[in-house]
Amino acid sequence: MTKLSVNINKVAVIRNSRGGNLPDVLLAAQRIESFGAEGITVHPRPDGRHIRYDDVRNLKELVKTELNIEGNPIDSFTDLVLEVVPAQVTLVPDAADAITSNAGWDTVKHRDFLREKIAQFKQKGIRVSVFVDPVPEMVRGAKECGADRVELYTEAYARDYHSSREEAIRPYVAAAEEARKVGLGLNAGHDLNLDNLAYFVERIPWTDEVSIGHALISDALYYGLEKTVSLYLDCLK
């Protein structure tokens, strides 16, 4: 079954908006794991506007499933990942001022840079996933860079799902098939939710992991955190 990794950035956003430690990011991670999620994802940014570097260090001591750290591998991020040694690092080419991730890597144009970074992380035994658009060429490029997995950027799928889910999923199936062909693991994330998640994994059942944050934490406001995690896990069965 596809694993669910919950991105807890939005928990940190609420905490940071008021100061103090409410809600408690570490407690949220513990509860999410206890409710059945198979991983915790964080995406620290240089300005510390949600998850902070110290949160990541503290989560390393706490998370019992898999810790996945996402981000642009600038020097400070690279140093943090090499210090913490999570189960997985996901390389995302987001600008420092980006509200959220908005594009995958051009793995051909940035091949040398990615090769260097991936080699650093793999020397520490960290699984490396590269965030890409659903384009077979970019998937092959990630393989050539030395990645273990790709994470398909699913914003376009989510955007077009209700107008034509068959058309929306088509490029993702092609990219996923390319990943399987070249021997890469497959993750997916961005705007996946209770409406569109089940169809995605139905069509691409070899997806290893989905990373979901904004929609899941928002749904938890209505359903409660335990019920929400359960609903997402049901989508993956």
pLDDT digits (tens, 9 = 90+) for 126-162: 999 999 999 999 999 999 999 999 999 999 999 999 9
Fold of 3-235: TIM Barrel (3.20.20)
The pLDDT of residue 103 is 82
The pLDDT of residue 96 is 61
The pLDDT of residue 94 is 83
Per DSSP bridges, beta strands 67-71 and 88-91 are parallel
pLDDT tens sequence across 8-22: 999 999 999 999 999
Going by pLDDT thresholds of 50, 70 and 90, the confidence category of residue 99 is: low
Q: Which amino acid is at 118?
A: I
Task: State the pTM of this model.
Answer: 0.95
Nearest to 41 by CA among 187, 146, 196: 187
Catalytic residue among 70, 151, 178, 209: 70
Catalytic residue among 43, 151, 178, 209: 43
Catalytic residue among 50, 66, 190, 209: 190
Task: Tally Cβ neighbours within 10 Å of residue 59.
Answer: 21
Residue 190 designated active-site: yes
Mean pLDDT of the 40-55 span: 95
Residue 214 designated active-site: no
Going by pLDDT thresholds of 50, 70 and 90, the confidence category of residue 100 is: low
pLDDT tens sequence across 113-125: 999 999 999 999 9
pLDDT tens sequence across 56-74: 999 999 999 999 999 999 9
Mean pLDDT of the 170-180 span: 98
> Domain-by-domain residue ranges, the chain?
3-235
SS3 (DSSP) at 130: strand
Q: How far apart are CA 185 and CA 215, in angstroms?
A: 24
